Structure 1
């Protein structure tokens, strides 16, 4: 029995502390199908999605699951989970969440690049670069054709 729980449930019938609330949600979402639905519902909340996208471990696990989704069988067998990206009522939400996570990852990478550039450019301002370095740099910063489509 967890801290704050009486024999017939939580003291007072409701979890009181943040930890008790987290434990109550975990207790209710033991089944993977329930947990997936709850996670999907929670990720529809912008604040929750924002925090989840900034959790490196959660983002890594979600990305790994997305990459492995094609290996899942189309039939629901007992030993292998069905593919929630195709066989579930939450499939559209999962795909939408993936797009949001990819977009936030892109925004994070862009921000890191801008931050690094902001720190580096002033240090290079008075430096005389070799001609070949100037050429490579000019090619690297030249506008690239627009290939990114998020929708």
Structure 2
């Protein structure tokens, strides 16, 4: 479920900001393909993130760094020569999205407070319907005016 990018972009809109930034490509590993990076970036952009901060480039594998699993965004990659085109693509996409106007027709409130109140001790059965409904609604690709969740 794309809840995190949707939450981040929601906060950005509520604060009246133009762009939402997240760190991209963490834990994608050294063998990540150019196509994988594009897919990850586009997934984030489709879900409301419109400014990319690419994951660190490790210069050493000392200590915990060797377990960070960053992508290698460096000249050793076979796609390094095309990396500028990749970055230009996302920079232009960022600019287009920042210059556009968002139109939000739906307000979705997260049921976290309700679930806190309903949860009793170790029995989580009372919150299951809230979780399932919210998860189902979050997975909906689009809703046309006049449709409801049961139509999807």
TM class by smaller structure? under 0.3
Q: Structure 1 or 2: larger helix share?
A: 1
Question: Larger RCO: Structure 1 or Structure 2 (Cα < 8 Å, ≥ 6 residues apart)?
Answer: 2
TM-score (norm 1): 0.22
TM-score (norm 2): 0.22
